[in-house]
């Protein structure tokens, strides 16, 4: 993995940084209201979950393959996945490789009434992400919950967290306490992260529902290889 040099000490290097992409969909004001309408209609048709917490199946792109708004969002997501994947893999992808990018799962979630999602990771994919369709009354910045509990944010945990429990903490490794990063929901905001990264959603409660789209992404070369077992 490419090394990141410290700006303050030329003899110190940061190894194995964790990449995260965060950007806003330029078309969210047009697309999001239509997605909200589609998602509520989908949920109400199924009638299989309480109104405070609902998650669809992950085959939305197949179910609504002719829905232009959902397909526009999917293309924006694909562009984001390619942006982050091509950036971090630039030293390793072969020159001229044809890259196939596939959203192996895409689904939506509606939550309210203090619904939350415990710490988890995503499997069988290289990249995962969240797109905020309707943020509702979620905490918009860290300042909002500095002295209280956050509302509906997504918290990501870095690998340092695994070494904090029961470990020896002192002034020389205080940096290990900086082991998480919060994504505050914002309508039209997309966050893409490595699928192995632990994350959770804090309980959400508000006048409006919190609505998101989640997804899995897989990439391969023209041969269909998901992993080049040899770099030759």
Tens of pLDDT, residues 34-76: 999 999 999 999 877 666 799 999 999 999 999 999 999 999 9
Q: What angle do CA 7, 10, 15 make, to 5 degrees?
A: 75
Q: Over pLDDT 70: what percentage of the chain? A: 90
Say yes or no to pLDDT of 228 above 80. Answer: no
In this prediction, residue 68 carries a pLDDT of: 98
Q: What angle do CA 57, 107, 131 make, to 5 degrees?
A: 165
Domains and CATH numbers, the chain: 16-160+174-221 (2.60.120.620)
Cα dist. 89→56, 83, 93, 134, 165 in Å?
32, 10, 6, 32, 32
Q: Mind listing the pLDDT tens digit for each residue in 67-108?
A: 999 999 999 999 999 999 999 999 989 888 899 999 999 999
> Residue 124, by phi and psi: left (phi above 0), alpha (psi -120 to 50) or beta?
left
- Report residue 209's pLDDT band, with 50, 70 and 90 as the boundaries: very high
Q: Does residue 167 have a pLDDT over 80?
A: no
Q: How confident is the model at residue 1 (pLDDT cuts 50, 70, 90)?
A: very low
Q: What does pTM read for this prediction?
A: 0.91
Contact 187, 26 (CB under 8 A): no
Per-residue confidence (pLDDT) for residue 51, from 0 to 100? 64
- Count the helices and strands in the chain (H runs, E runs): 3, 12
Pairwise pLDDT comparison (16 vs 205), residue with the higher score: 205
Nearest alpha carbon to residue 22 among 130, 157, 134:
130
């Amino acid at each position: 993995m490419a090394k990141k040099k410290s700006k303050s000490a030329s003899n110190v290097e940061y190894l194995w940084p964790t990449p995260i992409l965060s950007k806003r969909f330029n078309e969210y004001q047009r697309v999001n209201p239509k997605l909200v309408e589609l998602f509520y209609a989908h949920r109400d048709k199924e009638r299989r979950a309480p109104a405070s917490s609902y998650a669809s199946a992950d085959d939305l792109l197949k179910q609504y393959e002719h829905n232009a708004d959902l397909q526009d969002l999917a293309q924006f997501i694909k562009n984001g996945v390619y942006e982050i994947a091509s950036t971090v893999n630039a030293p390793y992808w072969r020159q001229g490789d044809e890259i196939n990018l596939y959203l192996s799962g895409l689904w939506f979630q509606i939550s309210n009434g203090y619904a939350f999602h415990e710490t988890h990771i995503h499997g069988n994919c290289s990249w995962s992400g969240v797109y905020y369709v309707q943020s509702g009354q979620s905490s918009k910045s860290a300042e909002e919950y500095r002295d209280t509990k956050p509302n509906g944010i997504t918290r990501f945990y870095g690998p340092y967290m695994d070494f904090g429990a029961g470990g020896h903490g002192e002034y020389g490794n205080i940096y290990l306490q900086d082991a998480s990063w919060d994504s505050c929901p914002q309508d039209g905001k997309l966050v893409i992260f490595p699928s192995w990264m632990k994350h959770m959603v804090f309980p959400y409660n508000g006048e409006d529902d919190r609505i998101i789209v989640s997804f899995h992404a897989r990439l391969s070369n023209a041969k269909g290889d998901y992993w080049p077992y040899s770099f030759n």
